């Protein structure tokens, strides 16, 4: 299907779009949550793939800043934090992986050390050139945002800066004293080209040694020297900050596949920059969770970086993930804004209303009671699901009538009878006869079991559980904007396939469609399946896939087999910290699953006094694939490691819950 027709065809925009397009597509909703990124001090910016790390780091670029000014759109960074100069390196685009060409698996530690020093030198020069270029851009743009412009008025000579810089670092043998700015830039570019020749094996060993080993700069030294001199020579204000970003830090882990420890060692080179406590430069390292070591060591030493002492942590995922209080959840507004921006920049759809385009296209997500009608052609069919009837005719008569109006209550009635007994009566509440589970006093009992009841209803009707509407799409995203866009992409693709001829004949813009629930459900399922397939990437990929599939099947069987609806929290598990400490392999597996986004974890308050536990849930986007609710409404299953091992070995086929299962006081799931 043509990419022109689907505004969500391209999921990864961060590294490919120009400044003008960035202004169109970037949502400022997240900026208020990450203002630490624009304050003095080193920062590690964590986030899963597609969480928005690179887009946030792009705000440090001068061309992005100028694009906001030119377009008349207010720059998203708070005004009091705009006094900065940004520069940096994207490790993938810079070609850092090519340094693995310089060593072999059998290379000794001395050879690896040499390559790490050369990689650090390359990073120095790349960032130095970008810093100078950023200054030139800022000066050429004029006095935009005059009060917060990082450069000094009067445009002090960059040639004088270049001369002073060359004089200070001339001892390294790369620069000569008296250089002007063009000569300085040309020498830096030449150095980078020489590295390109080196990593493509175009240089002889002798020339390599002559060019580099005697002249390699110490880690970060060129950058801090340049930053200091830019202030002392009057190029930038004394109050201006120099922010250097290093993006895709996790990429270095790939180098370990060809040469053990090489990528980790280059990470340690970068860590040395973060250990620098001077005021000249503040580093921002962008990485996925799995890319940051548990113990971030410094190059060739046992010293460690210390969080909150050497650097601060910004976790994009934690800021976008829903907490217990929905009112504090910023992701729905964030997702809605990005959706609107995609539609407004589309060359196929248009939306003129002042309302939400997301709601207009997907509609409101129905309640479980409303969704229950999706599984019946006729209302009276729901009566066939009443298995555990009340023990009096009057109640049975009222129940049949009630179920015809609310099919979900057939499942709820069965569960109530199994839990509380079949000797119950309907009560008159404001002229309406209600069963006991619909009384106000049982509101929480009902709320916690609705989604599990809907799942069992769909299973009884031999149909798949369906997700559709705005709330389902936002909820299944789990606070990850990439997963939100993936669902939108698949939904629109399904709709386009179903209306192919109409779109092929279409000319110009067309109104945003209201997509039916069946098409949405199919698109969401395709997005879920794609997420499962993507799981086969990264560390412990096979084991993580086995873990996810085993847990998914296990949770499904627990929830579908629990006819009493006694344990609606069976879509998650809780394991004590003590248990986890007893198995390094299981702890590693669970940690990696969290770092790659397969699982979500958090502290869990235990029923046992003083016990520390951790709860784990599958990523919400996997729910359609496994046909389980993504809502977390009750205590998860309390498990021990033996139980988890059995789930993994049996692939989730562990049978239905026991009839006497009383919930979270158990110590085993068997």
The 10s digit of each residue's pLDDT in 462-496 is: 999 999 999 999 999 999 999 999 999 999 999 99
- The encoded tokens of residue 312 equal 């601060």
pLDDT value for 424? 93
Following CA atoms 230, 235, 238, 241 in sequence, which dihedral angle do they give, to the nearest 10 degrees? -70
Q: Phi and psi dihedrals of 180, rounded to 5?
A: -95, 180
Burial 260-288 (b: 16+ CB within 10 A, else e): eebbbbbbbbbbbbbbbeeebbbbbbbbb
Give the count of beta carbons closer than 10 Å to the beta carbon of residue 569.
22
Q: Answer whether 60's CB lies under 8 Å from 15's CB.
A: no
Burial 360-372 (b: 16+ CB within 10 A, else e): bbbbebbebbebb
Pairing of strands 349-350, 312-315: unpaired
Collect all residues with Cβ–Cβ distance below 8 Å to 606 and sequence separation of at least 6: 574, 576, 612, 613
Tokens 């412009």 belong to which residue? 149
Burial 3-38 (b: 16+ CB within 10 A, else e): eebbbbbeeeebeebebeebbebbbebbbebbeebb
pLDDT digits (tens, 9 = 90+) for 340-359: 999 988 877 888 777 889 99
pLDDT value for 1? 43
DSSP letter string over 219-234?
A: TTHHHHHHHHHHHHTT
Q: Where are the beta strands (DSSP E) in 419-513?
A: 427-429, 432-434, 510-511
pTM over 0.85: yes
Residue 224 CA to residue 131 CA, distance in Å, equals: 11
pLDDT value for 172? 64
Q: Phi and psi dihedrals of 415, rounded to 5?
A: -65, -40
Collect all residues with Cβ–Cβ distance below 8 Å to 191 and sequence separation of at least 6: 125, 174
Residue 411 CA to residue 419 CA, distance in Å, equals: 12
pLDDT value for 610? 83
Helix H or strand E encompassing 183: helix 181-199
Residues, the chain: 670
The list of the chain residues with pLDDT below 50 reads 1, 652-670
Residue 91 CA to residue 88 CA, distance in Å, equals: 9
Tokens 């995203």 belong to which residue? 477
Residue 25 CA to residue 451 CA, distance in Å, equals: 35
pLDDT value for 301? 84
Find the largest Cα–Cα distance for the chain.
102
Sheet with 612-618, side-by-side order of all strands: 599-605, 612-618, 572-576, 637-638
Burial 510-546 (b: 16+ CB within 10 A, else e): eebeebebebbbbbbbbbbebbbeebeebbbeeebbe
pLDDT digits (tens, 9 = 90+) for 248-272: 999 998 888 778 888 999 999 999 9
Burial 229-246 (b: 16+ CB within 10 A, else e): bbbebbbbbeebbbbbbb
Give the closest residue to 524 by CA, choosing from 485, 570, 479.
Answer: 485
pLDDT value for 212? 64
Residue 161 CA to residue 156 CA, distance in Å, equals: 9
């Amino acid at each position: 299907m043509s990419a022109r027709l689907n505004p969500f065809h391209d999921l990864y925009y961060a590294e490919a779009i120009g400044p003008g397009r960035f202004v169109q597509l970037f949502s400022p909703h997240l900026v208020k949550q990450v203002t630490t990124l624009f304050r003095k001090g080193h920062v590690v910016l964590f986030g899963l793939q597609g969480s928005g790390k690179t887009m946030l780091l792009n705000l440090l670029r001068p061309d992005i800043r100028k694009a906001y000014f030119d377009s008349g759109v207010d720059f998203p960074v708070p005004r009091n934090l705009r006094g900065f100069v940004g520069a940096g390196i994207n490790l993938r685009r810079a070609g850092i992986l090519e340094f693995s060409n310089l060593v072999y698996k059998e290379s000794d530690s001395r050879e690896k050390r040499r390559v790490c020093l050369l990689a650090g030198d390359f990073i120095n020069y790349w960032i130095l050139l970008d810093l100078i270029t950023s200054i030139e851009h800022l000066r050429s743009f004029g006095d935009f945002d005059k009060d917060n412009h990082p450069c000094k008025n009067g445009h002090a000579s960059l040639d004088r800066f270049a001369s002073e810089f060359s004089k200070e670092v001339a001892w390294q043998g790369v620069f000569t004293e008296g250089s002007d700015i063009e000569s300085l830039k040309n020498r830096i570019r030449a150095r980078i080209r020489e590295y390109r020749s080196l990593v493509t094996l175009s240089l002889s060993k002798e020339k390599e040694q002559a060019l580099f080993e005697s002249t390699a700069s110490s880690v970060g030294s060129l950058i801090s020297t340049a930053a200091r001199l830019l202030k002392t020579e009057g190029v930038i204000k004394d109050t201006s900050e120099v922010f250097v970003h290093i993006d895709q830090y996790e990429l270095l882990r790939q180098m370990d596949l060809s040469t053990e420890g090489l990528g980790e060692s280059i990470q340690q080179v970068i860590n040395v920059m973060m250990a620098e406590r001077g005021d000249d430069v503040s580093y921002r390292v962008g990485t996925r969770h799995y890319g940051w070591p548990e113990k971030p060591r410094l190059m060739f030493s046992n010293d460690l970086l210390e969080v909150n002492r050497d650097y601060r942590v910004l976790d994009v995922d934690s800021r976008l993930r829903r907490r217990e209080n929905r009112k504090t959840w910023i992701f729905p507004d964030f997702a809605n804004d990005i959706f609107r921006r995609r539609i407004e920049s589309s060359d196929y759809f248009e939306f003129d209303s002042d309302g939400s385009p997301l709601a207009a296209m997907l509609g409101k997500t129905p309640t479980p009671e409303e969704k229950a009608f999706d599984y019946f052609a006729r209302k009276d069919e729901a009566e066939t699901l009443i298995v555990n009837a009340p023990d009096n005719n009057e109640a049975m008569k009222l129940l049949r009538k009630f179920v015809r109006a609310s099919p979900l209550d057939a499942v709820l009635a069965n569960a109530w009878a199994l839990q509380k007994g079949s000797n119950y009566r309907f009560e008159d509440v404001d002229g309406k006869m209600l069963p006991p589970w619909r009384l106000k006093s049982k509101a929480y009992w009902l709320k916690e079991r609705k989604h599990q009841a809907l799942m069992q209803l769909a299973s009884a009707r031999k149909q798949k559980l369906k997700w559709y509407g705005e709330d389902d799409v936002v909820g299944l995203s789990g606070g990850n904007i990439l997963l939100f866009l993936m669902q939108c992409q698949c939904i629109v693709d399904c709709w386009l396939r179903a209306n192919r001829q109409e779109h092929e004949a279409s000319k110009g813009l067309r109104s945003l469609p209201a997509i039916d629930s069946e098409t949405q459900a199919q698109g969401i399922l395709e997005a879920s399946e794609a997420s499962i397939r993507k799981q086969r990437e990264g560390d412990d990929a096979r084991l993580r896939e086995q873990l996810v599939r085993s847990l998914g099947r296990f949770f499904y069987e627990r929830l579908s087999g629990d006819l009493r609806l006694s344990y609606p929290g069976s879509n998650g598990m809780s394991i004590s910290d003590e248990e986890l400490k007893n198995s390094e392999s299981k702890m590693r597996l669970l940690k990696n699953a969290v770092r790659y986004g397969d699982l979500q974890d958090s502290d869990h308050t235990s029923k046992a006094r003083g016990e520390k536990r951790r709860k784990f849930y599958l990523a919400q986007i996997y729910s359609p694939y496994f046909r389980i609710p993504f809502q977390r409404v009750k205590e998860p299953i309390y498990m021990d490691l033996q139980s988890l091992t059995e789930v993994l070995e049996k692939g989730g086929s562990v049978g239905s819950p026991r009839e006497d299962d009383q919930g979270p006081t158990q110590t085993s799931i068997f």
